[in-house]
Amino acid sequence: MSTPTLPPAPSPGDPGNPQAPAASPSTPLPAGLQQDTGAGTTNSGSYFFQVVVNGKPVNIVLNQQVQATDQVNPNITASGEAQRQFLHPNDVTTANTVMDQIKTIQDWYGQANVRQKYINEMYQAGLISSKKSPSANEVAAAWAMVVQEAAIQNKTLGSSAVSADDLLAKAAQQGWSSINPTLSTQDGGVNGTGNLNNAVDSTSQTETVYKSYVDPATAMGTLADSYFRLMGRNPTPSEYNAFMTSLYGYQNEVNTGSDKTTSKGPNTGAAFDPSTGLPVDQSGSSSGTDTQTNVVSQRGIAQRGIQFLAGQQALQSPEEGAYQAATTYFNAFIKALGAPAAGMEASGPTTTVP
């Protein structure tokens, strides 16, 4: 009986055998670089390392589009290299990898003049919330994002790519968002808006006012009634116009009530969302919705008020006194004469001003 031939043992990481053990990485991770296993964290699979800024350890999490060994700018010019050595005198690396460049913050942060230069540029680029007292974490996160963006541009632009220092200087002139970066402020987790001088995203504020006035026919009818009672005639067209102008002017000045509905967006006085740099509105949203206020203003005036204003206009006419003297006041005069005129009847209205 022949012995059966067994299949060859699977090699480590054999792609044709899902049960094969995983292959060992051919290239070890750079010293200090770790991978988040995802146990109890939200950055599962991400690579991170630690830098010490102003004596404080800060974790730098790399974006998934970037590797620690990616080149930042291998084609750096002589002048660019001279500037790099000036700004980072203790940096003797020649590889210019993402990890190496981010770690240079441990050198330049301790130099007050160089540190302030970077902080000023980061604030102007909209990557940090303040240039007076930013935290070490803020500055480190901003610097890490600039370096990673420079590395991404190096992959896509090649020899046209600029150094991290040049990229930050460019963003400081226009704002980070204006240079069309691959990494947004949300991607980098920086506490800034991405706008020039960290300006808050503008939101439009509009207000629509619906005014409710008294019905014109009601107003003119009330005036006609007052003129007839007080002067025995109807108002002229010019008197109608004068009354309507006066009445609407009064209603514009006196708001007797309003019904206001407001839809709120970001409140510039509210707290900022550190992940977006945008202000948070009352609903907890930082989506940047506009503010719309609808106001229904009741400009109405009661019927008694219209009667009063109509009567006041009639009283201003010289005719009113003469008419009252010839009618209402004449009736009182006849009654005062006593018996000789006892059988006479009043010939005019007896109503008074409303």
> pLDDT (tens digit, 9 = 90+) per residue, 150-184?
999 988 887 777 888 889 999 999 899 989 999 98
Burial class of 257 by CB neighbour count within 10 A (0 to 12, 13 to 18, 19+) = exposed
Evaluate if residue 265 carries a pLDDT over 90.
no
Same domain, 69 and 129: yes
Same domain, 98 and 231: no
Evaluate if residue 113 carries a pLDDT over 50.
yes
308 pLDDT band (50/70/90 cuts)? confident
Q: Kindly report the average pLDDT of the chain as a whole number.
A: 74
> Which domain does 164 fall in, by range?
44-198
Evaluate if residue 257 carries a pLDDT over 70.
no
Same domain, 220 and 248: yes
Structure tokens at 194: 């991405």
Is residue 274 in a domain?
Answer: yes
Average confidence (pLDDT) over 328-351: 54
Residue 76 identity: I
CA-CA distance, 265 to 63, in Å (whole number)?
Answer: 30
CA-CA distance, 323 to 343, in Å (whole number)?
Answer: 23
CA-CA distance, 242 to 261, in Å (whole number)?
Answer: 35
- Indicate the pTM of the whole model: 0.51
Same domain, 96 and 129: yes
Is residue 7 in a domain?
Answer: no
What pLDDT sits at residue 271?
A: 54
CA-CA distance, 323 to 145, in Å (whole number)?
Answer: 89
CA-CA distance, 310 to 304, in Å (whole number)?
Answer: 10
Question: What count of other Cβ atoms lies within 10 Å of the Cβ of residue 58?
Answer: 20
CA-CA distance, 105 to 108, in Å (whole number)?
Answer: 5
What pLDDT sits at residue 18?
A: 47
Q: Which residue has the higher pLDDT, 222 or 19?
A: 222
Q: How many domains does the chain have?
A: 2
Same domain, 176 and 233: no
What pLDDT sits at residue 268?
A: 44
Q: Are 23 and 12 in contact (CB under 8 A)?
A: yes
Going 265 to 268 to 274 to 275, the CA torsion angle's sign is: positive
Is residue 350 in a domain?
Answer: no
Evaluate if residue 49 carries a pLDDT over 80.
yes
Average confidence (pLDDT) over 204-224: 76
Is residue 37 in a domain?
Answer: no
What pLDDT sits at residue 171?
A: 93
Is residue 29 in a domain?
Answer: no
Evaluate if residue 141 carries a pLDDT over 90.
yes
Is residue 242 in a domain?
Answer: yes
Kindly give, in sequence order, each residue whose CB lies less than 8 Å from that of residue 165, ignoring residues fewer than 6 positions away.
Answer: 80, 83, 84, 87
Is residue 19 in a domain?
Answer: no
Same domain, 239 and 294: yes
Q: Which residue has the higher pLDDT, 294 or 165?
A: 165
CA-CA distance, 173 to 275, in Å (whole number)?
Answer: 23
Is residue 33 in a domain?
Answer: no
